[in-house]
């Protein structure tokens, strides 16, 4: 009963305390009679901005896409349509490569490109037209929206390893009010043309890479005689370069290295004829090269010569193999060198 009385009287036990915190009050200034009352802005007044307002883009800007292996984004890419190219194995001499690809890009689209200087570093395009298709099926019609001319410039550095390619809009004519270009839209059109040039160069690099991959590697190895008149292989590479590149060749020939003596340029190896696995046959891979020698231990000794380096293939006792054996081993050695992608 007493507990019920306490609960029922809870509202009277916990009384609201008055808020004794200081209330913020507005203080009015007493202005002398000979002075004017200052303006008191409202709390949410929006301040006025003096001067003209700039353009506000309604979409994200087009970005420079450095998709070629030789292309690099520059610091000014957000403001200007420009990209830097660096020479690499796929470009060769950079300036002639860029000049050729720029010309090929516009030639493929039947757009005339005129050089405006004697060094072919500055170009101007003919009118590039843009159309919109209207109608459907057999009643389709192409309506021209606008046309523009561009300047393309190449700025090569004195060392010849890099160059900057820039695109600038020269003229623009529109036949539809919606095709009128703002400053941001003009920059987007410049970047889109620049991206087309970069893509042209990227495709050319890929074609070069495929051609290099498929190209049969030149091998300088030739059969010959060592200083003692014994049959051997001769390469134009130095003895140190030859020594450093033989191990991948041994792997292709199925040699196992048992020991080496760098001081006398000698490899002690074991040979076992390779077998072609089932998966290699099914995948259509080339069979591994097979040497015309028995499964046994051998020595491979390098010697300096006036022509470069002599590679001696010897028995485990250090005896030179026959001339017929060396001649028959030449083609497997060449195949192994090409498969290892080394220069011998």
- Using one digit for the tens of pLDDT, what is the confidence trace for 38-67? 666 666 666 666 665 555 566 788 999 999
Residue 339 has a pLDDT of 87
Counting every residue written for the chain, the total comes to 344
**244-245-248-251 Cα dihedral, nearest 10 degrees:** -80
pLDDT tens digit string along 6-49? 445 555 444 555 555 555 565 666 777 777 766 666 666 666 66
Two domains, one topology: 71-214 and 222-340: no
Residue 341 has a pLDDT of 83
Least confident of 154-163, 169-178, 180-189, 297-306: 169-178
Are 272 and 295 spatial neighbours (Cβ–Cβ below 8 Å)? Answer: yes
Tell me the average pLDDT across 142-162: 91
Least confident of 74-78, 88-92, 117-121, 258-262: 74-78
Residue 63 has a pLDDT of 93
Tracing tokens 């001319």 back to the chain, one arrives at: 149
- Which numeric CATH code is attached to 222-340? 3.30.310.170
Residue 25 has a pLDDT of 60
- Segments making up each domain of the chain, as ranges: 71-214, 222-340
Please tell me the class of the 71-214 domain. Answer: alpha beta
- In degrees rounded to 5, what are phi and psi of residue 319? -90, 140
pLDDT tens digit string along 252-291? 999 999 999 999 999 999 999 987 654 544 555 567 899 9
Q: Which residue has the higher pLDDT, 240 or 139?
A: 240
- CA dist list (Å): 5 to 10, 12, 112, 115: 9, 11, 101, 103
Residue 6 has a pLDDT of 46
> Which two three-digit tokens encode residue 224?
């010959």
pTM of the shown model: 0.56
Q: Go through 74-97 and write b for each residue having 16 or more CB atoms within 10 A of its CB, e for each that does not.
A: eeebeebbbbbbebeebbeebbeb
Tell me the average pLDDT across 323-333: 94
């Amino acid at each position: 009963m007493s507990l019920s009385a306490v609960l029922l009287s809870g509202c009277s036990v916990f009384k609201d305390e008055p808020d004794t915190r200081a209330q913020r009050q507005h203080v009015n200034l007493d202005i002398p009679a000979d002075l004017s009352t200052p303006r008191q802005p409202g709390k949410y007044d929006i301040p006025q901005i003096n001067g003209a307002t700039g353009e506000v883009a309604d979409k994200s800007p087009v970005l420079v896409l450095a998709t070629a292996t030789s292309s690099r984004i520059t610091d000014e890419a957000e403001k200007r349509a420009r990209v830097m190219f660096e020479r690499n194995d796929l470009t060769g001499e950079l300036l002639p490569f860029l000049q050729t690809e720029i010309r090929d890009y516009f030639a493929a689209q039947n757009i005339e490109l005129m050089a405006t200087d004697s060094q072919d570093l500055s170009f101007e395009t003919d009118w590039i037209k843009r159309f919109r298709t209207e109608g459907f099926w057999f009643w389709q019609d192409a309506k021209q929206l606008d046309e523009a001319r561009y300047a393309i410039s190449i700025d090569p550095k004195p060392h010849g390893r890099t160059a900057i390619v820039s695109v600038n809009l020269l003229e623009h004519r529109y036949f539809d009010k919606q095709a009128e270009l703002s400053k941001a839209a003009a920059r987007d059109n410049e970047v889109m043309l620049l991206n087309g040039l970069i893509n042209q160069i990227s495709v050319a690099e890929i074609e070069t890479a495929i051609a290099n991959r498929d190209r049969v590697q030149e091998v300088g190895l030739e059969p010959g005689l060592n200083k003692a008149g014994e049959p051997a292989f001769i390469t134009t590479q130095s003895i140190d370069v030859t020594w450093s590149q033989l191990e991948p060749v041994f792997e292709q020939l199925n040699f196992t290295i048992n020991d080496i003596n760098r001081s006398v340029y000698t490899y002690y190896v074991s040979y076992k004829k390779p077998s072609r696995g089932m998966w290699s046959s099914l995948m259509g891979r080339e069979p591994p090269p097979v040497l015309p020698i028995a499964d046994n231990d051998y020595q491979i000794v390098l010697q300096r010569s006036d022509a470069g380096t002599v590679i001696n293939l010897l028995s485990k006792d250090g005896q030179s193999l026959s001339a017929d054996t060396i001649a028959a081993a030449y083609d497997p050695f060449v195949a192994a060198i090409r498969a290892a992608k080394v220069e011998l």
